[in-house]
Structure 1
Amino acid sequence: MKEYIKLIRPFHWVKNILIFVPLFFGEQITNIHKLGILVLGFISFSFVASSVYIINDIQDAEKDRKHPKKRFRPIASGKISKINATKFLVILLIIAALIMTYASIDTGNWFAIFALPVSYLVINIAYSNGLKNIPLLDVAIISLGFVIRLYYGSALSNIAISDALFLTVVSASFFLGFGKRRNELKKGTSTRKVLKAYNIHFLDKIMYVFIGLTLVFYSLWTITKGENLVYTVPFAMLIVADYCLIIESDSSDGDPAEVLKHSKTLLSLLMLFAVVLFICLYI
């Protein structure tokens, strides 16, 4: 069982917390019924996201066996066969579909609740099978994944996404994507074919352009939203600064989940930021 848990990479589910953003910023996080639907949505989307990891591991098993770190993955190491991994993949998708069916009945929003996770699955399969080798499009698809999560949360909660919040998430997603590519490039272009099309100077410039846009759009959202949220902007600035400090180091590969996993300071800042947001919105 331990190997199956390792196969689905549960720590990477932290990215799916974005699903709760519409409910939280819509000031309805205390609505137990809607929160329950969002929790189910979080589980279903996480299973879909894990399915992408399993598909990739099945496809890349032979290549992963030659990698110094990836060779320890369950399929590459032979601890889980490709057949058993495929069966497990089907089970995850069936459970996700059942949860989405229940959520659809409850909310009446059939199309979006099914279309968004399916789109995420299809887009990421296409990404793994060639689109990841196209410069700029590779990062755009990463960004799209975060946007899909945001609108999935919107569909589950029936809460609309404001323009400023949408632009904040898009900008932040591009920043995270280009930051990841930057650190991968520092470690050598052999890890990804697309890295040969990038250079450090471009990635440095574009990454920090999106940092600025993220803070501008977030500031604009706080001003339009009111509720004293403008006082959370300095916290956002500090979080961005700490994240940049981490990925500028030689030890980080720039993956958002891994950065958060290994930085207690960043995690503490994010928790404090969430508490301040909660006070502003709900107290």
Structure 2
Amino acid sequence: MSETALLERTPQRPPSSRKYGLLRGLIRTARPRQWVKNVLVVAAPAAAGELFSRHVIIQVALVFVLFTACAAAVYLVNDARDADADRAHPVKCHRPVAAGQVPVPVAYAVGGVLAVAAPTAATFLCSPLASALLIAYLGMQLAYCVSLKHVLVIDLAVVTTGFLMRAMIGGLALGIPLSRWFLITTGFGALFMVSAKRYSEAVQMAGKSGATRALLTEYTVGYLRFVWQLAAGVAVLAYCLWAMEEGGVPHTSVLPWRQLSMVAFILAILRYAVFADRGTAGEPEDVVLRDRALALIGMVWLAMYGLAVANW
């Protein structure tokens, strides 16, 4: 059979199929499973009891989209930069950029467009402070991709700060003052989960070669345990001070719901610590979703805090 005849019999992917394949690859590179982390943008408005108006809901939804766009820009640039190394990895080789589904120049281009468009839109649709925070987030995360992820302790601080920025931006977009105890609770709560995840990875990789994070070989299991235990203690203390300082109005509330929510918060920390101690605390969203008890405690906490905000 001639080469021409063989080419004629070989099925060719139509342009529309290639286009949709590229689109699917871009969406996969944007890590849809990680978007749940951006729900933290509701933290500040919810904590201030200002989450019940149409304007606030629209602004929070907008901030969620803009933060998701910034995170997607970071993922795209990171995967484009690490494409060669990912191709040699047994798992990361399936990422769309490494697998060739998304060309490296396209990943850079789309990431760059998102990185410029999101802060620009925030300036006009939210507030200059929200835009400045998005720019700071992008700069910090890109620096993390290039070099900071290889620096001891700084890598933990950068990832933790990313969670804290998510919790702050809702307040900045709406001009809501941010309580110092809110910031401390959020920051150390994030550090608790981040260090617990690192600890779990270190425990699982103990005695094995080929750690998924090169920096894990420089941390000791004992040090990471110290970090998540310290962070858990500070988060609990800060939350208790926050609840006591900004308690509900006793004359209008049936019960002191905000103070009572301390019980649910502490139980949630203790329950999460079970998985951290076992070395099975992976992605925070996976831990919460797979453990019914922890999910139930979280729902009870949300109910108590909602009643506190409503002064019921």
* Same structural fold, with TM-score higher than 0.5 when normalized by the shorter chain: yes
Stretch deviating more after TM superposition (218-227 or 267-276): 267-276
Pick from 159, 163, 171: which aligns with 2:176?
159
C-alpha distance in 2 between matches for 1:93 and 1:270: 33
State the 1:265 CA deviation.
4.2
State the 1:224 CA deviation.
0.7
Pick from 275, 287, 290: which aligns with 1:246?
275
C-alpha distance in 2 between matches for 1:262 and 1:84: 36
Pick from 48, 60, 67: which aligns with 1:45?
67
2:119, 2:135 within 8 Å by CA — same for their partners in 1?
Answer: no
* 1:74 corresponds to: 96
1:172, 1:214 within 8 Å by CA — same for their partners in 2?
Answer: yes
3-state DSSP of counterpart to 2:96 = coil
CA RMSD of aligned residues (A): 2.0
3-state DSSP of counterpart to 1:75 = helix
Equivalences for residues 109-188 of structure 1 within 5 A: 109-110=127-128, 112-188=129-205
C-alpha distance in 2 between matches for 1:57 and 1:261: 27
State the 1:36 CA deviation.
0.8
State the 1:233 CA deviation.
1.2
C-alpha distance in 1 between matches for 2:176 and 2:135: 21
C-alpha distance in 2 between matches for 1:102 and 1:266: 40
Deviation string 1:120-163 (CA, Å, 9 cap, x unpaired) is 11111111111111111111111211222222122111111111
* 2:55 corresponds to: 33
Deviation string 1:242-271 (CA, Å, 9 cap, x unpaired) is 222233445x46232443454454334323
C-alpha distance in 1 between matches for 2:124 and 2:89: 41
* 1:219 corresponds to: 240
State which structure, 1 or 2, has the greater radius of gyration over its C-alpha atoms: 2
Q: TM-score, normalised by structure 1?
A: 0.90
C-alpha distance in 2 between matches for 1:163 and 1:134: 28
State the 1:47 CA deviation.
0.6
* 1:277 corresponds to: 305
1:75, 1:81 within 8 Å by CA — same for their partners in 2?
Answer: yes
3-state DSSP of counterpart to 2:178 = coil
3-state DSSP of counterpart to 2:132 = helix
Q: Which amino acid aligns with 2:109?
A: K
Deviation string 1:88-145 (CA, Å, 9 cap, x unpaired) is 32443354245313324xxxx32x1211111111111111111111111111111211
Stretch deviating more after TM superposition (10-19 or 90-99): 90-99
State the 1:196 CA deviation.
2.5
Deviation string 1:67-103 (CA, Å, 9 cap, x unpaired) is 2221211111222111222333244335424531332
* 1:86 corresponds to: 108
* 1:205 corresponds to: 226
Q: Which structure 2 segments of 5+ residues have no match?
A: 1-22, 249-255
* 1:11 corresponds to: 33
1:22, 1:157 within 8 Å by CA — same for their partners in 2?
Answer: no
Cα distance change on mapping 1:177 and 1:35 into 2, 3 Å: same
* 2:294 corresponds to: 266
C-alpha distance in 2 between matches for 1:90 and 1:137: 25
State the 1:219 CA deviation.
0.8
C-alpha distance in 2 between matches for 1:71 and 1:99: 34
Stretch deviating more after TM superposition (120-129 or 88-97): 88-97
Q: Which structure 1 segments of 5+ residues have no match?
A: none
Identity %: 25
Q: TM-score, normalised by structure 2?
A: 0.82
Q: Provide the aligned length of Structure 1 versus Structure 2.
A: 277
Stretch deviating more after TM superposition (190-199 or 47-56): 190-199
